[in-house]
Chain A
Amino acid sequence: MNVLLDNSDVFLTGFKNTGILFAFSAVFSLILGTIVAGMRVSPAPAMRAAGTFYVNAVRNTPLTLILAFFALGYPRLELPQISFINAAIVGLSLYTATYVSEAIRSGINTVSVGQSEAARAIGLPFMQTLSLVVLPQAFRSVVPPLFSVFIALLKNTTVAAGFSVYEAGAIRAYLSERGEPLLPGLLWVALMFVVLVLGILTPLQRYLEKKWKVAR
């Protein structure tokens, strides 16, 4: 307990930044992943190819390499510079979006073809067929896999510790600088992740599943 109380500043800053990384990356990856899933079911072959290429290229690259690129490679390009934490958000979002896209695409496949045929038959173009008829039904069936993706994202934020972002994964380093015992410190970090998942994400998942329960 002393490790936690004596170093509450370290824990607070760490988890605050973890929260920031998670929240922004979750929102951005949800938006980007939905767009990419839409591209992958588009009638235009070029859109499908672009979406497939993006998912295959990014999903098959280790997250560490993606974050290393944004923390170490990107600053050398002649582009507007961004802070380490923003770089981490960009990397995490791009990476997570591929998983979000695949979860949503599997949800799209659960919506019967008849639904989109009926939408097209009343004259809705592709974008509206997708956004008004297919996606609202697809989201209901992707809540569980989507939350698995977001739980993985929450834990993946700790990789950013390796690239100069002061978040929960970096707490260990700060504690060891202060000469604190490592094992209790790590256990506290682990416990807090469990609390975050069980205390926030799981109830949210349950709530959404209930709210969007498919009427059949």
Chain B
Amino acid sequence: MTNSAPAPALVELTAVNKHYGALHVLQEINLRVAKGEVLVVIGPSGSGKSTLCRTINRLETIDTGSISIDGKELPKEGKALARLRADVGMVFQSFNLFAHKTILENVTLGPIKVKGMSKPDADKLALGLLERVGVGHQASKLPAQLSGGQQQRVAIARALAMKPKVMLFDEPTSALDPEMINEVLDVMVELAKEGMTMVVVTHEMGFARKAADRVIFMADGQIVEESSPEDFFTNPQTPRAKDFLSKILTNG
């Protein structure tokens, strides 16, 4: 070990390949996310960006290559994989709150069952987190009684309750009504400021500009462009990125 060796990346993908049948959805992906870094993944639908995000906690398996979190390679399955997933928070496009459990129970389930926390401690932790994302007064309701924006903020609290090393956001605002997008983005910006390591698949340029350290642009299963948010939005290098940006900028 030498002093000049770079600090190990918190998330590291090396030569990752994945196929869906004939479709080569991830092609030789190499990616490092440093501790505390906020990485935004952007790209047209079908580019593989959601798949990429989901491979990081192995909700999607990969064909070849390796993925490691905090220096440890992702286990294939079983208890070891479950343990590692507890360190990787995930927020889904469709919220996926447990429909039969109250808001509070949604947040406490992981700490109680996975970490063995006592119920009073878990309740305290959960109420604090729910307060922080602005839905503390909804704790005893069922998910279906909340708006989409509120549900997504609960989902963020549920992920945070596991004290994850890294948070994955898979298009967290794509299923939301426009007026609810900002309440979720605000929570995410706060998280970024506090130094959370984040991988965010999104088209929200406001978020990328405000919070991201780096943007990668994906198309057809490859990382086509990689730069700072400002450079990416004002001065895209590849025709593919230029074309994509011209479309979302005129529409959005």
Contact = CB atoms under 8 A, between A and B. Distances in A.
Interface string B37-53: 00000000000000000
A124 B114 contact: yes
Interface of B: 57, 59, 77-79, 82-90, 92, 94, 96-100, 109-110, 113-114, 142, 144-145, 155, 158-159, 161-162
A132 to B, nearest CB: 7
A136 B144 CA distance: 16
B59 A121 contact: yes
Interface in A115-132: 115, 117-125, 128, 132
Q: What range describes how many residues of A lie at the interface?
A: 20 to 34
8 contacts: A117-B59, A117-B90, A120-B82, A122-B161, A125-B79, A215-B100, A216-B99, A216-B144
A93 interface: no
Contact of B99 (A121, A123, A215): A215
Contact of B86 (A114, A115, A122, A136): A122
Nearest to B112: A132
A79 interface: no
Given A120-B59, A123-B82, 9 more contacts: A112-B96, A114-B96, A117-B59, A118-B98, A120-B85, A121-B59, A121-B85, A121-B88, A124-B114
Contact of A125 (B78, B97, B110): B78
A140 B90 CA distance: 27
Nearest to B141: A215
B100 A124 contact: no
A45 B97 CA distance: 29
A191 interface: no
Interface of A: 43, 112, 114-115, 117-125, 128, 132-133, 136-137, 140, 214-216
Contacts of B98: 115, 118-119, 133
B97 to A, nearest CB: 7
In the A-B complex, the 3 residue pairs with the smallest Cβ-Cβ separation, listed nearest first, are A123-B86, A122-B110, A118-B96
Contacts of B97: 118
A22 B92 CA distance: 45
- By CB atoms of chain B within 10 A, which of A128, A132, A214, A216 has the most? A132
A140 B99 CA distance: 12
Given A215-B99, A215-B144, A121 B109 contact: no
B79 A114 contact: no
A122 B109 contact: yes
